Protein backbone atom coordinates (compact mmCIF):
# COMPACT_ATOMS: atom_id res chain seq x y z
CA UNK A 1 0.00 0.00 0.00
CA UNK A 2 1.20 3.52 -0.84
CA UNK A 3 1.65 5.85 2.14
CA UNK A 4 0.11 9.32 2.16
CA UNK A 5 3.63 10.79 2.05
CA UNK A 6 4.35 8.84 -1.17
CA UNK A 7 1.01 9.94 -2.65
CA UNK A 8 1.82 13.60 -1.94
CA UNK A 9 5.26 13.17 -3.49
CA UNK A 10 3.77 11.56 -6.62
CA UNK A 11 1.18 14.33 -6.91
CA UNK A 12 3.94 16.93 -6.50
CA UNK A 13 6.02 15.32 -9.25
CA UNK A 14 2.96 15.05 -11.50
CA UNK A 15 2.19 18.77 -11.07
CA UNK A 16 5.80 19.70 -11.78
CA UNK A 17 5.89 17.60 -14.96
CA UNK A 18 2.55 19.01 -16.13
CA UNK A 19 3.74 22.60 -15.57
CA UNK A 20 7.04 21.90 -17.37
CA UNK A 21 5.20 20.38 -20.34
CA UNK A 22 2.76 23.32 -20.49
CA UNK A 23 5.64 25.82 -20.45
CA UNK A 24 7.41 23.90 -23.23
CA UNK A 25 4.26 23.93 -25.39
CA UNK A 26 3.74 27.67 -24.83
CA UNK A 27 7.37 28.48 -25.68
CA UNK A 28 7.34 26.36 -28.84
CA UNK A 29 3.95 27.63 -30.00
CA UNK A 30 4.37 31.35 -29.34
CA UNK A 31 8.05 32.22 -28.77
CA UNK A 32 10.71 29.99 -30.35
CA UNK A 33 10.82 26.80 -32.42
CA UNK A 34 13.31 24.65 -34.29
CA UNK A 35 12.81 24.02 -38.02
CA UNK A 36 14.66 21.82 -40.50
CA UNK A 37 15.80 23.35 -43.81
CA UNK A 38 14.71 21.16 -46.70
CA UNK A 39 16.25 21.63 -50.12
CA UNK A 40 18.89 23.86 -51.66
CA UNK A 41 16.90 27.06 -52.26
CA UNK A 42 18.75 29.04 -49.56
CA UNK A 43 22.31 27.83 -50.27
CA UNK A 44 24.94 28.92 -49.41
CA UNK A 45 23.29 30.81 -46.52
CA UNK A 46 21.44 27.71 -45.26
CA UNK A 47 22.01 24.10 -46.27
CA UNK A 48 19.71 21.11 -46.69
CA UNK A 49 18.90 19.38 -43.36
CA UNK A 50 20.36 22.14 -41.16
CA UNK A 51 18.26 22.82 -38.09
CA UNK A 52 17.50 26.46 -37.44
CA UNK A 53 16.19 28.30 -34.40
CA UNK A 54 13.22 30.52 -35.28
CA UNK A 55 12.04 33.55 -33.33
CA UNK A 56 8.23 33.72 -33.36
CA UNK A 57 7.88 36.35 -30.63
CA UNK A 58 6.15 39.53 -31.90
CA UNK A 59 7.83 38.98 -35.24
CA UNK A 60 4.87 39.69 -37.52
CA UNK A 61 4.99 43.39 -36.57
CA UNK A 62 8.72 43.70 -37.30
CA UNK A 63 9.29 42.10 -40.72
CA UNK A 64 12.16 43.76 -42.61
CA UNK A 65 13.77 43.43 -46.01
CA UNK A 66 16.62 40.92 -45.87
CA UNK A 67 15.13 38.83 -43.04
CA UNK A 68 15.14 35.06 -43.53
CA UNK A 69 11.69 33.81 -42.57
CA UNK A 70 9.66 30.63 -42.19
CA UNK A 71 6.54 30.65 -44.37
CA UNK A 72 3.60 28.34 -43.80
CA UNK A 73 2.64 26.70 -47.09
CA UNK A 74 -0.37 24.52 -47.83
CA UNK A 75 1.52 21.26 -47.28
CA UNK A 76 4.97 22.32 -46.02
CA UNK A 77 6.94 25.22 -44.60
CA UNK A 78 9.40 27.25 -46.67
CA UNK A 79 12.52 29.20 -45.72
CA UNK A 80 13.01 32.34 -47.84
CA UNK A 81 14.44 35.85 -47.71
CA UNK A 82 12.18 38.93 -47.58
CA UNK A 83 12.89 41.04 -50.67
CA UNK A 84 9.84 43.30 -50.93
CA UNK A 85 7.60 44.73 -48.23
CA UNK A 86 4.04 46.07 -48.68
CA UNK A 87 3.91 48.87 -51.25
CA UNK A 88 7.43 48.23 -52.66
CA UNK A 89 7.92 48.29 -56.43
CA UNK A 90 10.22 45.36 -57.28
CA UNK A 91 12.09 44.89 -60.55
CA UNK A 92 14.92 42.63 -61.68
CA UNK A 93 16.85 43.84 -64.70
CA UNK A 94 20.05 42.17 -65.94
CA UNK A 95 20.70 40.60 -62.49
CA UNK A 96 20.24 43.94 -60.73
CA UNK A 97 17.50 44.20 -58.12
CA UNK A 98 15.69 47.51 -58.07
CA UNK A 99 13.42 48.33 -55.14
CA UNK A 100 11.39 51.51 -55.53
CA UNK A 101 13.74 52.52 -58.35
CA UNK A 102 16.89 52.16 -56.23
CA UNK A 103 19.59 49.53 -56.79
CA UNK A 104 19.58 47.05 -53.88
CA UNK A 105 22.87 45.26 -53.17
CA UNK A 106 22.54 41.55 -52.39
CA UNK A 107 25.97 40.62 -50.99
CA UNK A 108 24.66 37.20 -49.90
CA UNK A 109 24.41 36.24 -53.60
CA UNK A 110 28.11 36.60 -54.48
CA UNK A 111 28.87 32.86 -54.50
CA UNK A 112 25.79 31.97 -56.57
CA UNK A 113 26.38 34.92 -58.91
CA UNK A 114 29.89 33.60 -59.71
CA UNK A 115 28.45 30.16 -60.50
CA UNK A 116 25.84 31.69 -62.83
CA UNK A 117 28.51 33.77 -64.60
CA UNK A 118 30.62 30.63 -65.13
CA UNK A 119 27.57 29.01 -66.79
CA UNK A 120 27.05 32.22 -68.80
CA UNK A 121 23.48 32.68 -67.52
CA UNK A 122 21.67 35.19 -65.35
CA UNK A 123 21.31 34.28 -61.69
CA UNK A 124 17.86 35.86 -61.49
CA UNK A 125 15.72 36.23 -64.59
CA UNK A 126 14.30 39.65 -65.41
CA UNK A 127 10.83 40.51 -64.11
CA UNK A 128 8.67 43.45 -63.13
CA UNK A 129 8.16 46.03 -62.19
CA UNK A 130 5.58 44.67 -59.78
CA UNK A 131 4.07 46.27 -56.68
CA UNK A 132 3.77 44.27 -53.46
CA UNK A 133 0.16 44.41 -52.18
CA UNK A 134 -0.79 45.53 -48.66
CA UNK A 135 -0.18 42.90 -45.95
CA UNK A 136 1.95 40.83 -48.35
CA UNK A 137 5.64 40.24 -48.99
CA UNK A 138 7.80 39.29 -51.96
CA UNK A 139 10.33 36.55 -51.12
CA UNK A 140 13.16 34.80 -52.94
CA UNK A 141 15.63 32.08 -52.09
CA UNK A 142 19.35 32.87 -52.09
CA UNK A 143 19.96 30.07 -54.59
CA UNK A 144 17.93 31.75 -57.33
CA UNK A 145 18.60 29.01 -59.87
CA UNK A 146 16.98 26.40 -57.58
CA UNK A 147 14.32 28.27 -55.65
CA UNK A 148 10.55 28.22 -55.79
CA UNK A 149 9.60 31.66 -54.50
CA UNK A 150 7.48 34.73 -55.27
CA UNK A 151 8.75 34.71 -58.86
CA UNK A 152 7.59 31.23 -59.78
CA UNK A 153 5.01 29.54 -57.62
CA UNK A 154 4.68 31.02 -54.14
CA UNK A 155 3.33 34.38 -55.37
CA UNK A 156 3.12 37.14 -52.76
CA UNK A 157 3.25 35.89 -49.17
CA UNK A 158 0.46 36.95 -46.84
CA UNK A 159 1.71 38.44 -43.57
CA UNK A 160 -0.30 35.88 -41.58
CA UNK A 161 1.64 33.02 -43.25
CA UNK A 162 5.02 34.22 -41.96
CA UNK A 163 5.69 32.17 -38.84
CA UNK A 164 8.95 33.71 -37.65
CA UNK A 165 12.49 34.84 -38.37
CA UNK A 166 15.44 32.49 -38.60
CA UNK A 167 18.00 33.48 -35.97
CA UNK A 168 20.62 30.70 -35.66
CA UNK A 169 21.71 27.42 -37.19
CA UNK A 170 21.69 25.02 -34.24
CA UNK A 171 22.63 21.76 -35.98
CA UNK A 172 24.97 20.33 -37.10
CA UNK A 173 26.97 21.49 -34.11
CA UNK A 174 30.05 22.09 -36.27
CA UNK A 175 28.07 24.81 -38.15
CA UNK A 176 26.40 26.69 -35.28
CA UNK A 177 26.13 30.30 -36.43
CA UNK A 178 23.93 33.37 -36.63
CA UNK A 179 21.83 33.56 -39.81
CA UNK A 180 22.19 36.73 -41.89
In the annotation, is 41 catalytic? yes
Query: From residue 108, how far is each of 12, 61, 146 by CA, in Å?
Result: 52, 25, 15
Identify the CA nearest to 40 among candidates 112, 138, 95: 112
In the annotation, is 7 catalytic? no
Please, is 104 exposed, middle or buried when counting C-beta atoms within 10 Å of its C-beta (0-12, 13-18, 19+)?
middle
Distance CA 109, CA 117 (A): 12
Query: Active site residue: 56, 80, 147, 165, which one?
Result: 80
Query: Active site residue: 6, 8, 15, 41, which one?
Result: 41
> Catalytic site residues?
41, 80
Amino acid sequence: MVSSKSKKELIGWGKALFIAAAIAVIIRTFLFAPYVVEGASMEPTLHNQEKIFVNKMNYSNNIKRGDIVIIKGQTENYVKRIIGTPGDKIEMNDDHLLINGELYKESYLSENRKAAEEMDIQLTGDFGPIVVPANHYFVMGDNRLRSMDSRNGLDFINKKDIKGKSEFVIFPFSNIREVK
